[in-house]
Amino acid sequence: MDAIWNDLKALAEGVEGRSLVSLFEDDSRAARFSRRLDDMLFDFSKTQIDDAVLSRLIDLARAAGVEARREAMFSGAKINETEGRAVLHTALRAESGPIRVDGQDVMPGVLETRARMAAFADKIRAGEIKGAGGRYSDVVNIGIGGSDLGPAMATLALAPWHDGPRVHYVSNVDGAHIHDVLKGLDPARTLVIVASKTFTTIETMTNAQTARDWMGRAVADPAKQFVALSSAVDLTSAFGIDPERVFGFEDWVGGRYSLWGPIGLGLMLAVGPERFGEFLQGAREMDDHFRAAELDENLPVLLALVGIWHAQVQGHATRAVLPYDQRLSRLPAYLQQLEMESNGKRVAMDGRDLALPSGPVVWGEPGTNGQHAFYQLIHQGTRVVPCEFLVAAEGHEPELAHHHRLLVANCLAQSEALMRGRSLAEARAIMAAKGLEGAELERQARHRVFPGNRPSTTLIYPKLTPAMLGRIIALYEHRVFVEGVILGINSFDQWGVELGKELAKSLEPVLSGASDGRGKDGSTLALVAFARGEG
């Protein structure tokens, strides 16, 4: 591996400053540095990756053991070594088995739960299962992190298919969140989903209790209007939820990988089991591709290698995810958890310090909004931000096709502008055409220079259908996996979220006055005093 990393570093030095535009003197570049999976096209030609780089990146994936590790994951081996767990979110979307964990086929359980979810969703949507006030008009999903971001993102993404009750998501422990969501709802016609893998997460349990109190003020038996999604089934009954209304899953599903099973119930209620099935099918197609395709034809592997090239080889600390789709506006937040909770680690699987930077900071906003906010820095700032564009060729509103054309034009224009830039000579000519001359022309022209040569990739597909969304999410999941394997990281634990949780627990009594906060630092105590109105 070291030799490959060194080669890649040398190659990166060799291509630094090379004109991306000049790479397209090779007419075949766009075709050779893009890959398709059926009607999905991943274009990575606007990067500095050339034949030599790609070949060494593929060597890297092979040397890291991506193929064997991939097989280990799909077949239920306990690759989450720090927690001693298998990693089988792919089983949640599989159609058949056997897929074994500890010798037991998990598929009968998965299929049974999926069928129970579908039967339940059908009955809610048809009004056969009702609230105290009649047919359910609204569903409130209470969860956080993986028990919120995935289903909330997907529910918004598939808005054109909504034909069930309105589905809302509450995550923040800030009472403002639940207050503002419940404010407009009728408790007698609202179903509350408590989504928590562990069923101990303080934010979720606090919000769930508040929702139960709210419902209890209007409905005789509020527990009847509650559903639980969890792998801690015993704790759900302690909360008073009828076992019939509990949809369980196993600890081999990581929170941020869980929207394919029970945690996706909110989405299923919104779009129906059939559309949800198409969503799973799309993900399955990506699984099959990821498992079978050669490394240099494999979309998740290539997306990962582009990521490694930019973050660990070229040293860019962040990457922007830029969906040109308003309905994918929660995708960056979802990917922040998926990528940063998975690969934001400083210790490798073998317990040694990571020799390379961990996964990059992931951020973004939908286009075209971002263009009027932070693209200034992307184009002219001193830091290079590799950009990942996503766009559908076609929108959902035929009568608004002219909007969509503009949207696509903007998306393609941005990647072109990032690559092409604008030279000083071009900027001077623009200023001269405006009548400027001499020192003033020179000064003004410099502000209008775009360095260009800024890398980006584009994922383009015909339309954002349930199946396409499934494919896109599975593509990113597997990308994170491959990057984790190459970095030697366990992408499936998240110890880094624990310390803050513990300290919050110890600070709550300090804020309430029940504890004097002995042992806390001066800054924290001063902030506590201020919050208590004593500072």
Residues with Cβ within 8 Å of residue 182, at least 6 apart in sequence: 140, 190, 211, 214
Shorter beta-carbon distance to ligand F6P: residue 3 or 497: 497
- Closest distance to ligand F6P from the beta carbon of 513 (Å): 27
Shorter beta-carbon distance to ligand F6P: residue 85 or 256: 256
Site string for ligand F6P, 131-170 (x = CB under 6 A): -------------xxxx-----------------------
**Catalytic residue flag (residue 534):** no
Residue 256 engages ligand F6P in binding (rule: CB under 6 A):
yes
**What single string gives the DSSP state of each residue in 256-294?**
GG-TTTGGGHHHHHHH-HHHHHHHHHHHHHHHHHHHHS-
User: Binder to ligand F6P among 45, 141, 171, 204 (CB under 6 A)?
Assistant: 204
Q: Give the C-alpha separation, 517 to 429, whole Å.
A: 66
Q: Give the C-alpha separation, 355 to 353, whole Å.
A: 6
Half-sphere exposure of 342 (CA within 13 A, CB side): 27
**Catalytic residue flag (residue 463):** no
Q: Which of 203, 278, 341, 388 is catalytic?
A: 341
Residue 317 engages ligand F6P in binding (rule: CB under 6 A):
no
Strand-strand pairing, 456-461 and 387-392: parallel
Q: Which residues 4-63 are close enough to bind ligand F6P by CB under 6 A?
A: none
- Closest distance to ligand F6P from the beta carbon of 118 (Å): 22
User: Binder to ligand F6P among 52, 432, 497, 531 (CB under 6 A)?
Assistant: 497
For 150, the enclosing helix (H) or strand (E) is helix 149-157
- Closest distance to ligand F6P from the beta carbon of 504 (Å): 11
Q: Are 435 and 428 in contact (CB under 8 A)?
A: no
User: Binder to ligand F6P among 19, 113, 198, 423 (CB under 6 A)?
Assistant: 198
Q: Are 453 and 421 in contact (CB under 8 A)?
A: yes
- Closest distance to ligand F6P from the beta carbon of 161 (Å): 25
- Closest distance to ligand F6P from the beta carbon of 64 (Å): 25
Q: Which of 403, 463, 501, 505 is catalytic?
A: 501
- Closest distance to ligand F6P from the beta carbon of 148 (Å): 8
Rounded to 10 degrees, the C-alpha dihedral 59/63/69/71 comes to: 60
**Segment near ligand F6P (CB under 6 A); pick from 69-77, 197-205, 239-247, 425-433:** 197-205
Q: Does the N-terminal peptide bond of residue 187 adopt cis geometry, omega within 30 degrees of 0?
A: no
| SS3 label, residue 372 | helix
Closest-CA residue to 497 (of 228, 318, 141, 255): 255
**Catalytic residue flag (residue 316):** no
- Closest distance to ligand F6P from the beta carbon of 230 (Å): 8
User: Binder to ligand F6P among 187, 255, 332, 455 (CB under 6 A)?
Assistant: 255
Shorter beta-carbon distance to ligand F6P: residue 453 or 494: 494
Q: Are 461 and 432 in contact (CB under 8 A)?
A: no
Radius of gyration of the chain (CA): 25
Largest CA distance in the chain: 82
Q: Are 92 and 253 in contact (CB under 8 A)?
A: yes
Q: Give the C-alpha separation, 258 to 90, whole Å.
A: 10
Shorter beta-carbon distance to ligand F6P: residue 47 or 342: 342
Q: Give the C-alpha separation, 28 to 94, whole Å.
A: 37
Residue 428 engages ligand F6P in binding (rule: CB under 6 A):
no
Residue 201 engages ligand F6P in binding (rule: CB under 6 A):
yes
Shorter beta-carbon distance to ligand F6P: residue 262 or 470: 262
Q: Which residues pair with residue 450 across a beta bridge?
A: 422
Q: Which of 123, 372, 403, 463 is catalytic?
A: 372
Shorter beta-carbon distance to ligand F6P: residue 297 or 508: 508
Residue 236 engages ligand F6P in binding (rule: CB under 6 A):
no
Size of the site for ligand F6P (CB under 6 A): 14
Site string for ligand F6P, 372-411 (x = CB under 6 A): ----------------------------------------
Shorter beta-carbon distance to ligand F6P: residue 90 or 196: 196
**Segment near ligand F6P (CB under 6 A); pick from 28-36, 109-117, 193-201, 522-530:** 193-201
Closest-CA residue to 74 (of 407, 474, 523, 529): 474
**What single string gives the DSSP state of each residue in 153-186?**
HHHHHTGGG--SSEEEEE--SSHHHHHHHHTT--
Q: Give the C-alpha separation, 315 to 311, whole Å.
A: 5
Half-sphere exposure of 346 (CA within 13 A, CB side): 1
- Closest distance to ligand F6P from the beta carbon of 482 (Å): 20
Shorter beta-carbon distance to ligand F6P: residue 259 or 427: 259
Shorter beta-carbon distance to ligand F6P: residue 196 or 414: 196
Instruction: Give just the sign of the alpha carbon dihedral 475, 256, 142, 177.
Output: negative
**Segment near ligand F6P (CB under 6 A); pick from 46-54, 93-101, 118-126, 190-198:** 190-198
Active site residues: 341, 372, 501
* Residues that bind ligand F6P in the complex, under the rule CB under 6 A: 144-147, 196-198, 201, 204, 255-256, 341, 494, 497
